[in-house]
Chain A
């Protein structure tokens, strides 16, 4: 074959200055828009720190929420409000642990099931239902948990009811994260396990899940940070409690519930900000940890 010389098109250089100008304008536009995007989070954090930091001391983490009289006395004496949100912090941790115990195993099992049955019709149905579940308003899930658990199981407001509502909220996120993680693990690893005569369930438990550890834990942490701030379903299920509670069948407080209570009490205004700052910091920390894990423990 005869090679034909390719004629290079002539590139005009006359408009190079206007191009440089356009380039600069575009760069400035991108910087301005990026700044606009991150400004809300900066403003929120700034406001929370300015208004909330005054209340944050050791007592804030160790003491239960004060009553309105204590708060009023402190304010009239020009002191900071005594007490803290220990009942809320422990309650939130308790609820999240209970919800995780329910949602993580079920979510991972369903996620693996969807991964193993990619094209099947019932898998598609489950995947779609799980997506719809993600869109159900949290107050509706609170109502459902009220009906199922408060009315029928614990016969009263309880931590269990609240954690059921939160678990249902976590499920779709964990299912999705598990399926996506499993899809990223090379199929050759599964083959390697099976070719060694390892039974199928052990390949999943001992090869696939450890290999996808970073993806799974990121998904789980994100789902936790998603439900940490939920208020509406907890109002209908755990109600709130002035003291620390570790009983699944008793009403429990939570940080977002406390924020709502403080909001309704004119004497507690300062505590709204410090509690919000704490909650925000908690969620932010979880997000940063999950990012770290996915960067560090990456095996695939």
Chain B
């Protein structure tokens, strides 16, 4: 793999990362070396089963939910090895949003936003709570739509609103990095474009890593792109470069729709 755009002062650096779902099984992610730029959107693309979700989940160690998983290599957040951090601390610094909106069904919109604090038993004053809820909902452009129904269940919202609520929930902890696993694949085109606009807005404050199946989405919003194929990181670089002048023939074939 070539990597000509050397990234200065990366927020995340992935070094020789290999992941297998079972001991001795085929690697789902093979020897990946990547540096992620701060305050930018990095998209991970590739056909189904290429390991892009596995790579994304490894960044906040959600992949460890599979008990038999085997991980080699390191991931550094700034200079700290995340494999040595506690998952509880790590996941507060690196938030995650999933494919399908998953607000907690028993909680109100307000409680959903503040869920990270509530569930972790972190005590904050009511004014601070109100402030975090308002700020987080404003950040995802949901405040005006829900400010009169904050104490209704989050599951009454539309799919797109629910997904923005889930992003707000991840933002409430003020993480440094937000990981999104195909965040718009369950949404309609209008909701999708709202989430995309939101991500572009959010990169001013946060670093965003996004898995997407949708190439035009990657082209529209991402600054850097990775192309993965069968566990290998085939190509990584500035999105504009990759889409106009891919260096690898596999990338070109994928981008032009010859497979995938």
Using a CB–CB distance below 8 Å, which chain A residues touch chain B? 186, 188-189, 191-199, 202-203, 206-207, 210-211, 213, 299-300
Total count of chain B residues near the partner, CB < 8 A: 29
Complex interface residues of chain B between 89 and 119 (CB less than 8 A to chain A): 89-92, 95-96, 98, 100, 102-106, 115-116, 118-119
Q: Is there contact, CB below 8 Å, between A189 and B105?
A: yes
B95: A residues at CB distance < 8 A:
195-196
B29 at the interface (CB under 8 A from A): no
Chain B residues within 8 Å of A, Cβ to Cβ: 60, 62, 65, 87-92, 95-96, 98, 100, 102-106, 115-116, 118-121, 155, 166, 169-170, 173
Interfacial chain B residues near A189, Cβ < 8 Å? 102, 104-105
Choice from B62, B105, B118, B170 contacting A194 with Cβ under 8 Å: B62
Residues of A within 8 A of B119 (CB): 193, 196, 198, 202-203, 206-207
The 10 closest A-B pairs by CB, nearest first: A197-B91, A299-B105, A195-B96, A188-B102, A197-B92, A196-B116, A210-B106, A198-B119, A192-B102, A197-B88
B87 surroundings in chain A (CB, below 8 A): 194, 197
Are the C-beta atoms of A213 and B106 separated by less than 8 Å?
Answer: yes
Q: Provided the pairs A186-B102, A192-B104, A299-B106 are in contact, do residues A197 and B65 lie with their beta carbons within 8 angstroms? A: no
Q: Please, which residue of chain A has its CB at the minimum distance from the CB of B166?
A: A192
Inter-chain pairs besides A192-B98, A196-B119, A213-B106, 4 sampled, C-beta below 8 Å: A195-B60, A195-B91, A195-B170, A207-B104
A-B contact pairs, 20 of them (CB 8 A): A189-B102, A189-B105, A191-B96, A191-B98, A192-B98, A192-B166, A194-B62, A194-B91, A195-B95, A196-B91, A197-B87, A197-B90, A197-B116, A197-B173, A198-B120, A206-B118, A206-B119, A211-B105, A299-B106, A299-B155
CA distance A151 to B8 in the complex (A): 77
Q: Establish whether residues A191 and B89, one from each chain, have CB atoms under 8 Å apart when the complex forms.
A: no
Complex Cα–Cα for A169 and B116 (A)? 39
Instruction: Enumerate chain A residues within 8 angstroms of B65, measured Cβ to Cβ.
Output: 191, 194
Residues of A within 8 A of B102 (CB): 186, 188-189, 191-192
Q: Is the CB of B62 within 8 A of A195?
A: yes
A101 to B157, CA, bound (A): 38
In whole angstroms, how far apart are the Cα atoms of A188 and B96 in the complex? 12
Q: Which of B90, B98, B115, B121 contacts A188 (CB 8 A)?
A: B98
Residue of A whose beta carbon sits closest to that of B118? A206
Contacts of A197 in B (CB 8 A): 87-92, 116, 120, 173
Specify the chain B residue showing the minimal Cβ separation from A186: B102
A217 CB to nearest chain B CB (Å):
13
B218 to chain A, nearest CB (A): 23
What A residues does B90 contact at CB under 8 A?
A: 197
Distance between Cα atoms of A199 and B91 in the complex (Å): 11
In this complex, what residue of A is CB-closest to B155? Answer: A299
Q: How far is the CB of B129 from chain A (nearest CB, A)?
A: 16
In whole angstroms, how far apart are the Cα atoms of A195 and B172 in the complex?
A: 13
Give every chain B residue within 8 A of A192 (Cβ-Cβ): 98, 102-104, 166, 169
**Across-interface contacts of B91 in A (CB, < 8 A):** 194-197
The residues of A that contact B96 with a CB separation of less than 8 Å are: 191, 195
Chain A, Cβ-Cβ closest to B90: A197
Q: Least Cβ distance of A186 to chain B in Å? A: 7
Chain A residues contacting B166 (CB-CB under 8 Å) are 192
CB distance from A184 to the nearest CB of B (A): 12
Residue of B88, B105, B120, B121 touching A300 (CB-CB under 8 A):
B105
Cβ of A46 to closest chain B Cβ, rounded Å: 42
A194 vs B116: C-alpha distance in the bound complex, in angstroms? 10
**Cβ contact within 8 Å between B116 and A198:** yes
Judging by beta carbons under 8 Å apart, are B106 and A202 in contact? Answer: no
Closest to B121 in A: A202
Whether B62 and A188, one on each chain, are in contact in the complex, defined by CB atoms closer than 8 angstroms, is: no
Measured CB to CB, the nearest residue on chain B to A213 is: B106
Residues of A within 8 A of B92 (CB): 196-197
